[in-house]
Amino acid sequence: MEAEKPLIKLKSNNNNISKKSDLIWTLDGIENQRDAFDFLKLFENRLFVYSYMVEKIYSNYSFVFPNNEHHKIAVLPNHHAHHDIFHNIKNEAIETTDIAIFPGDIVGEKNIVIKIPKQPYTSSKVFPLKEGMAFIYALYQKEGKDFLPVISNGDLKEYQNRMPCLYLHNIDTKKLAKTIAPFQIQSIKSIIYDSINSIINDYKEN
């Protein structure tokens, strides 16, 4: 099927984005939009962006407020960095997790925290980022899976007291193996692990 032609063009680093692209994120329903944007910028190029429409993962991109768009954020991939774009990532390989990242203020913490949804026999839990990531990795490894978080359109939300939060999706490598080669999967795993470790080191507990 022929791709839909862009309705508008946003000029930045020679990238063009369709107004209907899922790389245009709406902020409707978020009252404190500047705080939400500033929180999202903390993870720019560090939590990778998945596009359901084009089935790609972008690891080199910018978040911007388009001048001609109100209440929206644009994700502008760097198309000159071809090695930072992963193709043929089918929608079925991206799963929801209900895991969310928050500013620590929400629970009286200094740094970023992560909320892990209710598990069998346990209630939801909030951890400092480093401890929470270790807990999540252990949960996934117990099930024989990898935890490879990505974000996509709709993952930026507002929690209690107008606090921004960012929900995480996960890449299911078993489903991914149906469409891309093992060396490509290993490349994705390595770059995501390195990026997550970078985030943890920047926001580790004092």
Alpha carbon distances (Å) from 161 to 39, 124, 155, 165: 15, 19, 18, 11
Please state, rounded to an integer, the average pLDDT across all residues of the chain. 86
The answer to whether the beta carbons of residues 107 and 43 sit under 8 Å apart is: no
Q: Is the pLDDT of residue 203 over 50?
A: yes
What number is the average pLDDT over the span 22-30?
92
Give residue-wise pLDDT tens across range 124-181.
899 999 999 999 999 999 999 999 999 999 999 998 767 899 999 999 999 999 999 9
What number is the average pLDDT over the span 90-109?
91
Alpha carbon distances (Å) from 47 to 17, 67, 116, 125: 20, 24, 17, 21
Alpha carbon distances (Å) from 107 to 128, 158, 163: 10, 15, 11
| pLDDT value, residue 71 | 84
| pLDDT value, residue 63 | 96
| pLDDT value, residue 199 | 92
| pLDDT value, residue 159 | 82
The answer to whether the beta carbons of residues 46 and 195 sit under 8 Å apart is: yes
Q: Is the pLDDT of residue 8 over 60?
A: no
| pLDDT value, residue 69 | 64
Percent of the chain past pLDDT 70, that is, above it, reads 86
So where are the chain's domains? 92-202
| pLDDT value, residue 13 | 34
Q: Is the pLDDT of residue 60 over 50?
A: yes
pTM of the model: 0.86
What number is the average pLDDT over the span 47-62?
97
The type of residue at 104 is G
